[in-house]
Structures are given as C-alpha cells and as structure tokens.
C-alpha cells in the first residue's frame, strides 16, 4: 500500500516525502515525464479534463506500489481521483492554514507555481478552501504542519 502525501501547494509534500524515503515517487514529475511537457503547458494546450484523465491513470498505478507518494496539490479536484484515494488506507493530509501556505509559496523563488502566478491572493484562498474539504474527505490521517519543522513532521510520520 502506498503512503500518499496530500495537501495544498506549500504544505511540504515533496520535502516530507524525500525525508521519509529518498526514493519517493513524485507524481508531478511522473506526470511531466509521461506528458513530455510541463504540466502548465499541457493544461494550456489540452485543457484540464485531458490532464485529469492522465493524472488519474498515474494515481491508479502509484496506489498499487509500496512507496511514499508526493501528489500534486490539485489531485483531489477530480472525483475519480478522490474515489481512488478512498480505497488507499494510508493518505496523509499535510494541513496548514492559508496564510502560512501563502507565505511559503511566495518565498519559494525556485518553484514559481502557475496557480500562484496567475491568481490573486483571494482567488487562491478560494481554491484552497474548496480543496480543503476534499483533502479531508480522502485523508486517513490529518497532520497540522503549520508550526512543525520538516524534521518534526517526518518524525511524527515514521
């Protein structure tokens, strides 16, 4: 069974996955590998529906592994993905409040996310609030990471 890390961008999914298992599976990286172009470019060229279909196929494959999986922040948008995730017994929602996440995203100059660049703070807050219910719907465990260091989160999940 896969150990799946869920959460909004800036929650630390990739950082925590790397700390739990250096050979973790990064869903966004696997998607870009399969697509042959960046997720942002694929979205622009083919649209969200086409992207979510491929995302679901990859998620289905990843859930069959015994690996740590870092998902993209939007994986819960698709009902099919939520249904797949509900069948997995080890989904961890790395939860933080919006303002903390926004500060982390804004400070991360190495990873400029299209969703962050193309939306106002209020639009981003609305996206966050919509997704929050979906993360909680599929999570088998919710861990509030707002005030925890990556090391503390990794220790908590071991």
Cα 60 to Cα 106, 128, 129: the distances in Å are: 32, 24, 25
Q: Which residues contact 121 (CB under 8 A, 6 or more apart)?
A: 102
CA distance 91 to 88: 7
Say if residue 52 carries a ligand binding annotation.
yes
Say if residue 11 carries a ligand binding annotation.
yes
What is the per-residue pLDDT across 12-61, written as a single tens digit (0 to 9) for each?
A: 999 999 999 999 999 999 999 999 998 888 888 998 889 999 999 999 99
What is the per-residue pLDDT across 65-108, written as a single tens digit (0 to 9) for each?
A: 999 999 999 999 999 999 999 999 999 999 999 999 988 888 77
User: How many domains would you assign to the chain?
Assistant: 1
CATH of the domain at 17: 3.40.50.300
Cα torsion angle, 145, 112, 91, 138, sign:
positive
Say if residue 15 carries a ligand binding annotation.
yes
Say if residue 13 carries a ligand binding annotation.
yes
Please give the model's pTM, rounded to 2 decimal places. Answer: 0.91
Say if residue 14 carries a ligand binding annotation.
yes
Say if residue 73 carries a ligand binding annotation.
yes
Say if residue 131 carries a ligand binding annotation.
yes
Say if residue 28 carries a ligand binding annotation.
yes
Q: Which of 97, 105, 94 is nearest to 128 (CA)?
A: 97
Instruction: Give me the domain span that covers residue 71.
Output: 3-157
């Amino acid at each position: 069974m896969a150990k799946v890390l869920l959460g909004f961008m800036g929650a630390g999914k990739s950082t925590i996955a790397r700390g739990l298992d250096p050979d973790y599976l990064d869903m966004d990286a696997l998607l870009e590998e399969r697509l042959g172009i960046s997720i942002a470019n694929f979205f622009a060229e083919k649209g969200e529906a086409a992207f979510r279909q491929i995302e679901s196929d990859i998620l289905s494959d990843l859930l069959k592994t015994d690996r740590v999986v870092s998902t993209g922040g939007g994986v819960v948008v698709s009902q099919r993905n939520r249904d797949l995730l509900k069948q997995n017994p080890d989904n961890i929602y790395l939860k933080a409040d919006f303002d903390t996440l926004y500060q982390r995203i804004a400070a991360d100059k190495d990873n400029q996310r299209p969703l962050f660049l193309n939306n106002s703070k209020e639009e981003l807050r609305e996206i966050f609030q919509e997704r929050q219910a979906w993360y909680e719907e599929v999570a088998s465990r919710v861990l509030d990471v707002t005030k925890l260091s990556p090391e503390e989160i990794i220790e908590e999940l071991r």
